Amino acid sequence: MQNIVRSISEDGSAISIAVDSTEIVRTMRGYHNTSATASAALGRLLTAAALMGAMLKSDDSSITLRIDADGPIGKMIAVTDEKSQVRGYCENPAADAEPKNKGKLDVAGVVGKNGTLTVITDLGLKEPYVGQIPLVSGEIAEDITQYYAVSQQTPTACALGVLVDKDLSILSAGGYIVQLLPGTPDSSIDIIENNLRILPPVSEMLRQGMSAEEISLKVLEGLNPNTLDDSSAVYRCTCSRERMRGVLASLPKKDREDLAKEGNTEIVCEFCQKKYVFTPKELLEL
């Protein structure tokens, strides 16, 4: 399914990216059994990762988003590659918070407002680029917007949303990012600001049946936008037995010998909960 779309204004001064991440968040919840508010929080972070992955230009590149804050959900991590193949986890998937007015999930309450957002961009060079900012609100979209303003000096607006049903299933999830390029005329900025002001929440637009392409174009309405490209964003874990074997092989020999004495060793992937079992013999042969 082509669920992530990039569009550009006719004069090339603004770009928008929109994603329908409903299936991504559903897959995440299937792996982690998240509470309603944790689904919204981690779902937003995964959605942001998918959008940022669509901006990567080189193969074998990746972005890791990490939030460390004082909320009950603990550390949150989302990883994406240049194909917007994402995966993620949080320390406490059962963390929840009392809903705010009108039943709106209190994402900032579960994430925390005192902490940091760290963005690690690996382009396959010697060292990855690491940017870190204090959290603005813990609502995640505002924090992503602030990251681009501070670390990238790029005027950006971000919207993220996850709609959770009473039975904890995911009704809809998605988001968009719009960025202004150098030389954007004030008239175009005014049009985009007005669009963002009147647009409904992104999860509601998706719930009403709008596609990622329609949302991407809607953000730039009035600027004669055109669709640049579309692709498929998915939740995909890259774990394997060989990778887990490498983790064990990196341990000091004595640690492996101690583990072998205790019997079989089980490693659980943090991203998909898949279990890998290694026998004492396998440990000693590493």
**pLDDT tens digits for 134-168?**
999 999 999 999 999 998 888 999 999 999 999 99
Asked whether residue 176 carries a pLDDT value surpassing 90, the answer given is yes
Residue 98 confidence (pLDDT) above 90: no
Q: Name the average pLDDT for the chain.
A: 94
263 three-class SS: coil
Residue 79 has pLDDT above 90, yes or no: yes
For 241-285, CATH gives 3.90.1280.10
Above 90 in pLDDT, residue 120? yes
**Which position has the higher pLDDT, 26 or 181?**
26
Is residue 29 helix, strand or coil?
helix
d(CA 189, CA 173): 27
Quote the pLDDT of residue 171.
Answer: 97
pLDDT in tens, 222-266: 999 999 999 999 999 999 999 999 999 999 999 998 999 999 999
Above 90 in pLDDT, residue 102?
no
Give me the phi and psi of 212, to 5 degrees please. Answer: -60, -40
CATH 3.55.30.10 residue ranges for the chain: 4-235
For residue 1, is pLDDT > 80?
Answer: no
Global pTM?
A: 0.94
Q: Residue 84: what pLDDT?
A: 96
Instruction: Give the sign of the dihedral formed by CA 141, CA 231, CA 240, CA 33.
Output: positive
- Which regions of the chain carry the CATH code 3.90.1280.10? 241-285
Q: Which two tokens stand for residue 66?
A: 């990490």
Q: Which position has the token pair 């995909």?
A: 236
Predicted confidence at residue 286, as pLDDT, reads: 85
pLDDT on residue 126: 84
Stronger pLDDT, 101 or 195, i.e. the higher one: 195
Per-residue model confidence (pLDDT) at position 241: 94
Domain at 4-235: CATH code: 3.55.30.10
| Beta-bridge partners for 138 | none
Q: How far is CA 76 from CA 88, 129, 210, in A?
A: 8, 19, 29
Question: What are the tens digits of pLDDT across the range 6-28?
Answer: 999 999 999 999 999 999 999 99
